[in-house]
Structure 1
Amino acid sequence: MKHYDVVIIGSGASGGAVAYSLCKAGYRVAVLEKGRLIKREEFSKDELAYCRRDIVTPNLFDEYHTIEEKVDGKWQTTPTYDSGWSFWNGNVVGGSSNFMSGMLHRLHPDDFRLKSKYGEIEGANIVDWPITYEELEPYYTLAEELAGISGHYEPHPFEPPRSTPDFPQPPTRENAVVKLLDKSCRELGIRSLVTPRAVLSRDKGHRNACYYSNFCGSYGCSSGAKSSSREALLQPALATGNLTLLSNTHVKSLHTDSKEHVSYALAVDTVTGKEKKIYGDIFVVAAQAHESARLLLNSANRHHPDGLANSSGELGRNLIFSGGGSGQGELHSDALKEISFAELMQTGYFVNRSILDWYFIDDWWDGKFKGGSVEFMFEHQNIISRARKNNYDGGKMLWGSALADRVVDRFTKQKSIRFEIFNDWLPNDDCFVSLDPTHKDKYGMPVGKLRVEGHPQDVKVGRYIAKKCEGVLEEMGAKNIYSSVSSVPAQNLVAGGCRFGNDPKTSVLNKYCQAHDVPNLFVADASFMPTGGSVAYTWTIYANAFRVADHIIRSLKAV
């Protein structure tokens, strides 16, 4: 019977970071990943495979979730195989980090003290974090260096303080549209900033720099430039000889032989269907927030009748997504300012611009409240989706030569620029994951039942910022500008469900993401987050996982 020092469930950003640190420290580690291993050279820019089919996610008839939404004042449950709404985000080695756009920011120090800084909001379960930005800052720096983040730092009132003067790599190449965007922002009194991006602009070790394929987000990287867990962390961990990577290994439950000790993970080989037990001294759950909570709920036993590490009753509660929305406008050849149309149509280069001016809003008309961040980019370059877009005239679908002319014009006479808004999704009593009492996946496990109600404040903040962004696009000379902000969650940004805190009665994990109830159990993915901040979570997931790994190493050395 093989026995590991540490068993990690999940190989994404958090699982990879923990594995890297432990393997470098000389410990025997097993990473259990439900999906398969896709090698760098296997990744392609096949829109059908990656964006319209489930080559890297489970078929929804085999594995799915049920979603509980309020319809006419009543909660209504729908399986995702009926709605087509998928909460899977890359079930392969390296997880969804393989497919991210890589626009990363640190949380602001105020994000760690949301309740103290901004006060209570009715209907929201806001708490301060048990750690500070200063405690996490060294790990942000470590993640920045190990993963490889490109960018250029400029002081800004809402840019978090840094212990290093700049990023390890210069910014990735930028489309000339940044000249127009920067000037338009200056005209409006707004500061545009270079976006930190988890994409290499220069070669780093075994990884090659970005080759500007024009298809980045939603796709795996065939140069190794994208700072995925697979490239940046798991490959170096494997090189130590201390990592056993078990792909196609789906963990069904964690077994406790006493109230305070996990002894093994019960897993199924997704190819053969055979079950096996993986033993270890320490277990780290890193399966993505909603699935991590589901695993612990499915691990209920006589010692933990309400789910593993759930004496507080908080397991699965306070699930959070990302508030905000998006919008875009069209830059046309006949009305373009500042740059040539040929420069605009240069493919592959990034927009690479962020706005943090509205991270905190102090408006004499709308009041004072926590705001959010904005990322600018071109619309997703997927050919099929762009060709199918808005092929109507006066409510009637276009056909024949009229349709052909519309599509040709869309690809040759204009380019759409887009903005995405990230603001807090406030935790509340009606956003959580539980086990569905009737639906099971193909492995016989009860599926996760997600209630996804948002808070009205989230929409208020998003709409405020969207109006500001529309103003930027207007200043740029864009046409057909629109935005969309709603309480519908983004399926690729999920956190919470195992919030950390100092009080075992109100939290699942302690400040080191160690289960209060089960000392040899840790949860390292975004589940720990009690609030989400107003940026994408990935850099914080990396940083916190390195912090958790350091604590595990200290624990192992003390034994």
Structure 2
Amino acid sequence: MDFDICIVGSGAGASPIAYRLSQAGAKVVVLEKGPWLTEKEFFKDEQTISLHDAYNPSLTDEQHVIEEEYLDDNNESYWQGESTSESGWSWWNGTVVGGSSNFMSGYFHRLKPIDFRLKSEFGDIKGANVADWPISYDELEPFYAMVEKEVGVSGKAVKHPHQEPRSTDFPYPPVAELPVASWIDQTASEIGFHAIPVPRAILSQPDKGRRSCEYSGYCSSYGCSSGAKGSGRAALLNQAVASGNCTIKPNSKVYNIATNKAGEITAVQFYDAVGKRQQIRAKIYVVACQAVETSRLLLASKGEKFPYGLANNNQQVGKNLLFSGGGTGQGDFLYNELSDEKVAQLKQVGPFINRALQDWYQINDKQFAKANEGISPTGQAKGGTIDFLFHQNPIARAQGSQWQEDDNGVESLVWGEQLKQALKQEFTTYKTLRFEVFNDWLPTNDCFVSLDEDVTDKWGDPVAKVRIGFHNHDLEVGAFLAEKGEQLLTAMGAKNVSSSVSGYPSSNLMAGGCRFGNDPKTSVLNKNCQAHEVENLYVTDGSFMPTGGSVPYTFTIYANSFRVAEKITEHWQVLSQQS
């Protein structure tokens, strides 16, 4: 099976490559480990999503090993791994055609110019491997605009202190919003904050053969049954296949990228749906199977020229893995303290809140300096984003009601009448407004991917071992932002306001592991996401990012993939002329 372009993975990093190269006339094949599901399979079954993790592999078949840091009896730290089949901690994010982009919330904030030059702006941070990007915001900006049009982003550009430069407004008007959004706007204005509308990768009106949002209220973690959500499958792969130049092979688990003595890729090897070994040859190979699995595949693909794994002679593959720093917060609005009109507004289900704060995307604050003398004595630091949301769905809302805390703070399960009363209180007496904080997860030497020597998947291949060390700076910035979120909720009249930040990673927000840069000794890829050591290998998922910024990654992954698609098209055209 010979093709021009072979792509491993099918999500946000892969789908723009398949879309643009098939448009250009290249014969493209996409290898996806999971099944090919469509809108018909994305029904709104809460048990399927909330309790059964239905769109991901069973952990008894496919797992990871997660290494965490512990302290021994002498207060000295050590690292210990545990397989996810034992912990139950799934690190899969959507093993289907279109990948995790099928299940995202679609918060599509752009990075800002400062995100591309953290080291230049803030200098070295002890214990962190901060690096500037080899490209600028201006180089990526046209491709952000391209994503907004091609994938479908609904929103409205407004001026605020940290608004990034834009060449155009959004191509689709904002999706419908809950009245609570206006509460946030009003209170933010009163206390000197700047609430901004959140752009969403969700169509507010029908286009491109896709229906618009139907406001079921089942969005985050759910597949979209209308096709409105801008998944790689709905927005790009369907059109790539329609071109006649793109072949998608679902249920195809790639286990090796083979090379010859010269270090040239000769084939991609995979197991098909019945476990039979197959292989595909191509002119150009693209790996985009999400950060952890991309590093795992390259590390596992050893050859005579690459004894440490493909494109890994400088042993940079898997290093500088990124997640998202931050945390969460919440406040309760008690119905008995509100007017009937406001209670009715709180009870609405379906539309979105779509409000965020970015006033502290760059922190310059004396209080921050006082609290963090060892980290930021000047009070200047890279900050982040605060997004507001409801847990609309009943099971998500009910989670936690089964626990009751006694006077000593000890939690225990409740049953019967106690549980019924707890559920009644949850659904009839108040509504909880929540926020999520996104700030940089600094790259360190204690956050990386390697191969586990003992644990294998159902095919007998070594699984990825992920060390999840974090930098304390992430917690300090997250706590500063969370306090601002609490401040807004309190000013709105919320009760029981609280927040928390954590060094535990959110596994649906992952990047790094194959960072791009100009120096092969400290990076895996060049500025065009082409491997320094392998001319016809590109990596186009979030693995390329040297730093993650302070917003969810999917938008930037899409934009960079569209950018790299132009470079791959030029490369393919040269190869085609030569042959």
Normalised by the size of structure 2, how large is the TM-score?
Answer: 0.94
- Counterpart of 1:62 in structure 2 is 61
Return the match for 1:89 from 68, 93, 106. 93
Deviation at 1:439, TM superposition (A): 1.1
Larger CA deviation: 525-534 vs 260-269: 260-269
Larger CA deviation: 388-397 vs 477-486: 388-397
The alignment status of 1:120 with 2:136, answered yes or no, reads: no
The alignment status of 1:462 with 2:478, answered yes or no, reads: yes
- Counterpart of 1:509 in structure 2 is 525
- Counterpart of 1:473 in structure 2 is 489
Secondary structure of 1:533's counterpart equals coil
Deviation at 1:388, TM superposition (A): 4.4
Return the match for 2:247 from 244, 247, 252. 244
Deviation at 1:391, TM superposition (A): 4.0
Deviations 1:520-548 (A, max 9, x none): 00000000000001111000000000111
- Counterpart of 2:511 in structure 1 is 495
Q: What does 1:193-232 align with in structure 2 at a 5 Å threshold? A: 193-232=196-235
Contact 1:180-1:339 at 8 Å conserved across structures: no
Q: What does 1:2-41 align with in structure 2 at a 5 Å threshold? A: 2-41=1-40
Contact 1:436-1:449 at 8 Å conserved across structures: yes
Larger CA deviation: 170-179 vs 3-12: 170-179
The alignment status of 1:80 with 2:96, answered yes or no, reads: no
Return the match for 1:531 from 534, 543, 547. 547
Q: How many angstroms apart in 2 are the aligned matches of 1:449 and 1:407?
A: 40
Contact 2:307-2:313 at 8 Å conserved across structures: no
Contact 2:253-2:270 at 8 Å conserved across structures: yes
Return the match for 2:447 from 413, 419, 431. 431
- Counterpart of 2:376 in structure 1 is none
- Counterpart of 1:42 in structure 2 is 41
Contact 1:328-1:481 at 8 Å conserved across structures: yes
Q: How many angstroms apart in 2 are the aligned matches of 1:39 and 1:379?
A: 25
The alignment status of 1:336 with 2:352, answered yes or no, reads: no
Structure 1's 290 and 201: CA in aligned 2 closer, same or farther, altered over 3 A? same
Deviation at 1:156, TM superposition (A): 1.9
Q: What does 1:315-330 align with in structure 2 at a 5 Å threshold? A: 315-330=317-332
Secondary structure of 1:365's counterpart equals helix
Secondary structure of 1:432's counterpart equals strand
Structure 1's 506 and 19: CA in aligned 2 closer, same or farther, altered over 3 A? same
- Counterpart of 1:305 in structure 2 is 307
Larger CA deviation: 333-342 vs 236-245: 333-342
Deviation at 1:337, TM superposition (A): 6.7
Contact 1:336-1:477 at 8 Å conserved across structures: no
Q: What does 1:23-422 align with in structure 2 at a 5 Å threshold? A: 23-72=22-71, 73-164=77-168, 166-269=169-272, 271-336=273-338, 340-366=342-368, 367-379=379-391, 381-383=393-395, 386=398, 388-389=400-401, 391-392=403-404, 394=406, 397-422=413-438
Deviation at 1:384, TM superposition (A): 5.7
Deviation at 1:385, TM superposition (A): 5.3
2:35 aligned partner, one-letter code: R
Secondary structure of 2:319's counterpart equals coil
Q: How many angstroms apart in 2 are the aligned matches of 1:556 and 1:124?
A: 38
2:265 aligned partner, one-letter code: V
Contact 1:180-1:337 at 8 Å conserved across structures: no
Deviation at 1:381, TM superposition (A): 2.1
Contact 1:459-1:486 at 8 Å conserved across structures: yes
Deviation at 1:52, TM superposition (A): 1.6
Contact 1:423-1:535 at 8 Å conserved across structures: yes
Larger CA deviation: 498-507 vs 408-417: 408-417
Deviations 1:249-294 (A, max 9, x none): 000010112434212100001x311010011110000000110010
Structure 1's 330 and 243: CA in aligned 2 closer, same or farther, altered over 3 A? same
Deviation at 1:42, TM superposition (A): 1.4
Larger CA deviation: 211-220 vs 398-407: 398-407
Deviations 1:129-159 (A, max 9, x none): 0000000011111011001000110022212
Return the match for 2:534 from 494, 515, 518. 518
Secondary structure of 2:260's counterpart equals strand
How many residue pairs are counted as aligned between the two chains?
556
- Counterpart of 1:443 in structure 2 is 459
Secondary structure of 1:416's counterpart equals strand
Deviations 1:426-474 (A, max 9, x none): 0000000000111111111111000000000000000011111011111
Deviation at 1:406, TM superposition (A): 2.3
Deviation at 1:389, TM superposition (A): 2.5
Structure 1's 307 and 420: CA in aligned 2 closer, same or farther, altered over 3 A? same
Larger CA deviation: 546-555 vs 338-347: 338-347
Contact 2:64-2:83 at 8 Å conserved across structures: yes
Contact 2:260-2:304 at 8 Å conserved across structures: no
Q: How many angstroms apart in 2 are the aligned matches of 1:368 and 1:348?
A: 39
Q: How many angstroms apart in 1 are the aligned matches of 2:293 and 2:243?
A: 29
Q: How many angstroms apart in 1 are the aligned matches of 2:54 and 2:197?
A: 33
Q: How many angstroms apart in 1 are the aligned matches of 2:163 and 2:341?
A: 29
Q: Which ranges of structure 2 fall in alignment gaps of 5 or more residues?
A: 72-76, 369-378
Secondary structure of 1:13's counterpart equals coil
Larger CA deviation: 478-487 vs 450-459: 478-487
The alignment status of 1:553 with 2:569, answered yes or no, reads: yes
Deviations 1:460-494 (A, max 9, x none): 00001111101111111111222110110001011
Q: How many angstroms apart in 2 are the aligned matches of 1:524 and 1:272?
A: 28
Secondary structure of 2:419's counterpart equals helix
Contact 2:67-2:467 at 8 Å conserved across structures: yes
Q: How many angstroms apart in 2 are the aligned matches of 1:259 and 1:421?
A: 47
Q: How many angstroms apart in 1 are the aligned matches of 2:244 and 2:475?
A: 49
Q: How many angstroms apart in 2 are the aligned matches of 1:41 and 1:220?
A: 10
Contact 2:263-2:303 at 8 Å conserved across structures: no
Deviation at 1:51, TM superposition (A): 2.4
Structure 1's 176 and 376: CA in aligned 2 closer, same or farther, altered over 3 A? same
Q: Percent identical across equivalent pairs?
A: 50
The RMSD of aligned alpha carbons is 1.3
Q: Which ranges of structure 1 fall in alignment gaps of 5 or more residues?
A: none
Deviation at 1:184, TM superposition (A): 1.3
Contact 1:200-1:226 at 8 Å conserved across structures: yes
Q: How many angstroms apart in 1 are the aligned matches of 2:155 and 2:382?
A: 25
Larger CA deviation: 398-407 vs 326-335: 398-407
Deviation at 1:405, TM superposition (A): 2.5
Normalised by the size of structure 1, how large is the TM-score?
Answer: 0.97
Larger CA deviation: 348-357 vs 327-336: 327-336
Contact 1:32-1:250 at 8 Å conserved across structures: yes
Q: How many angstroms apart in 1 are the aligned matches of 2:262 and 2:183?
A: 62
Contact 1:263-1:281 at 8 Å conserved across structures: no
